[in-house]
Amino acid sequence: MHARDGAVFVELGAWKGRSTAFMGVEIANSATDIEFYAVDTWLGSAAESVHDADPDLQEGTLHQAFLQNIEPVRAYVRPLRELSTQAATRFGDGGVDFVFVDAGHTYQDVTNDLVAWWPKVRPGGVMAGDDWTLRDQKDGQRSVRRAVRRYFNRPDCFYAIELWKGTTHPEWTQWLVRKDGGTTTNLVRKMRGTIAAAR
């Protein structure tokens, strides 16, 4: 699948904008008219303490840090400062080409994002994410993997889940599901390189 003019991409969970900026560069270089939304509260996550010591989070300047980091590609990014599930209501069903899920990492957070965003993905579109082997800080479960498998491998909804490492950090292993159950092609390979490079 090649990104088309008018395509809509959404990143759930943008933090300080490293992957957002890489995507902005790729969109700029593609000379394709892509609407790219970065969704985050920029308030951190109470369920994930790994970033608690981050100075920008402690000082309440996380959003400003994000805006500063994406400044060179700001024209290609549309930030939405709200919960990922709330942001989903802004989009019509079947109207999004690509969703990257990297917001909350608890089982319930990931499940909520899948439920809210999968209907928004158009036929032939792609949903992907990372942290496949990351363990939940509370229960030790691999919450992302469990949520994705349970959502996409139901009797009434079964899709192939593709995996690739793309990074030296095994916990960042990335996953991908195509709406039509097809195979990975150019867009996905491009995204894999973009996301891996941003880590």
Range in 1-5, 71-75, 80-84, 157-161 the model is least confident about: 1-5
* Residue 174 near residue 164 (C-beta atoms within 8 A): yes
Q: Is residue 140 part of a domain?
A: yes
CA-CA distance, 75 to 79, in Å (whole number)? 11
Alpha-carbon dihedral sign for residues 39, 194, 34, 77: positive
Q: Is residue 2 part of a domain?
A: no
Q: Is residue 143 part of a domain?
A: yes
* Residue 165 near residue 173 (C-beta atoms within 8 A): yes
Residue 184 burial class via C-beta count within 10 angstroms: exposed 0-12, middle 13-18, buried 19 and up: middle
18-39 confidence digits (pLDDT tens): 999 999 999 999 999 999 999 9
Whether the per-residue pLDDT at 12 is higher than 50: the answer is yes
The one-letter code for the residue type at 15 is: W
For residue 121, give the CATH number of its domain: 3.40.50.150
Counted domains in the chain: 1
Q: Is residue 20 part of a domain?
A: yes
Q: Is residue 169 part of a domain?
A: yes
Whether the per-residue pLDDT at 197 is higher than 60: the answer is no
Helices and strands, number each (H, E), in the chain: 7, 9
Q: Is residue 1 part of a domain?
A: no
Give the count of beta carbons closer than 10 Å to the beta carbon of residue 30. 14
Q: Which residue has the higher pLDDT, 130 or 64?
A: 64
Give the global pTM. Answer: 0.86
1-10 confidence digits (pLDDT tens): 578 899 999 9
Domain of residue 122 covers 7-198
Q: Is residue 153 part of a domain?
A: yes
